[in-house]
Amino acid sequence: MAVTEVIEYDKIKSVRQTPLEELYTSGHRTCQGCESALVMKLMVKAAGPRTIVLGSTGCMYVANTTYYTTPWVVPWMHTQLGSSGSAALGTAAGLAATLYYLIHSTLIAGGLFLLADLVARARGGRIAIDEGPRPDPQLGLAPLFLLGAVAVVGLPPLSGLVGKVALLRAAQDHPAMVWVWGGILGSSLLLLMALTRAGILLFWRGAVAAPVALGGLRQRVTTLLLASSIPLTLFGGPLLDWTQAAAAQTLDRAAYRDAVLGARPVTALRAPERQP
């Protein structure tokens, strides 16, 4: 089992002991007075310069990394939804689980974003998640929402469960297991509650809205993305084997060093001389 190095920092007990060095500087695009930006600033100031910040997809991800600029002075890594804990472990198993979850969450989240647009169109342009006109059941949007919700939360039998189990197993022998497991399972519970409430408001309550034409291409692409959870589940074993091999190669620094230092230099080619 790998030994994790523990770095002891001086405790900050008063405002006067707060470091002057700023590790979250200007350049972010949050609103004026945004409390999330203040939290990021104070958090990384307390953590110190030897810190790698991991952030899931969300508001702070968009505000802090747009147009190839960032306010982070320390290294920052973007992760997909619930894979931040496994990515922070720094192990091959954690990276393999992150790679699998990256594929899963990218496809399912993309399908849910497209489904949100279809639901808004079916409700007459209403984008708020509240009690109002619900989509015509004949459009088949409710089953798509159920498919996406089960997949993204990580309930059986879809690929979200495979990804969540891989994330949990990656942290089972790590000192931070309690925090990683608590974050993954707690966020899954909150997400399940939020999607359950959203599904009730959107597809159960209210009068049926007038039928609208959503476009066959939009519905087919949305269905294809959400249904990708099925092959990800069926071929979860081979896909996890591939991600584990990719993670092992990524963390094998000796292979990179040998490939760079052991390569033979290429002799420069001279352009042919012109004949007079």
Q: Say what the pLDDT of residue 8 is.
A: 65
Is 270 part of any domain? Answer: no
Residue-wise DSSP of 67-96: GG--SBSS-EEEE-GGGHHHHHH-SHHHHH
Whether 72 and 110 map to the same domain: the answer is: no
Say if CB 223 and CB 139 are below 8 A apart: no
CA 183 – CA 81 distance, rounded (Å): 11
pLDDT tens per residue across all 276 residues of the chain: 445 555 566 677 777 777 778 888 887 888 888 888 888 888 888 888 888 787 777 777 777 777 777 888 888 877 766 666 666 777 778 888 888 888 898 899 889 989 998 998 888 887 777 777 888 888 889 999 999 999 988 888 999 899 888 888 888 887 878 888 888 888 889 889 999 999 998 888 888 888 888 878 888 999 999 999 999 999 999 999 999 998 888 778 787 777 777 766 666 556 566 665
**264 domain residue, yes or no:** no
Per-residue tokens: 60:
């702070």
Contact 236, 168 (CB under 8 A): no
User: Where is the domain boundary, 79, 99, 120?
Assistant: 79
H helices of the chain, where?
35-47, 59-64, 84-89, 92-122, 141-153, 159-170, 177-203, 216-227, 229-234, 236-251, 253-261
Residue 55: strand, helix, or coil: strand
Query: What whole-number distance in Å separates Cα of residue 78 and Cα of residue 65?
Result: 9
Say how many domains are in the chain.
2
DSSP state of 143: H
- 154 shares a domain with 240: yes
Residues 221 and 97 occupy one common structural domain:
yes
Q: Residues 64, 97: one domain?
A: no
Paired strand residues for 134? 208
Owning domain of residue 49: 22-79
Beta bridge partners of 2: none
Through-space distance between the first and last CA atoms of the chain, rounded to whole angstroms: 71
Q: In this predicted model, what pLDDT tens digit does every residue of 192-238 receive, in sequence order?
A: 999 999 999 888 888 888 888 887 888 899 999 999 999 999 999 99
Q: Is the overall model pTM greater than 0.85, yes or no?
A: no
Residue 9 belongs to a domain:
no
**Chain segment 213-225, per-residue pLDDT in tens:** 887 888 899 999 9
Instruction: Specify whether 43 is located in the same domain as 153.
Output: no
What letters, b where the CB count within 10 A reaches 16 and e where it falls short, cover 161-175?
bbbbebbbebbeebe
Q: Does one domain contain both 75 and 104? A: no
Do 102 and 229 fall into the same domain?
A: yes
Q: Are residues 48 and 142 in the same domain?
A: no
Residues 94 and 53 in one domain: no
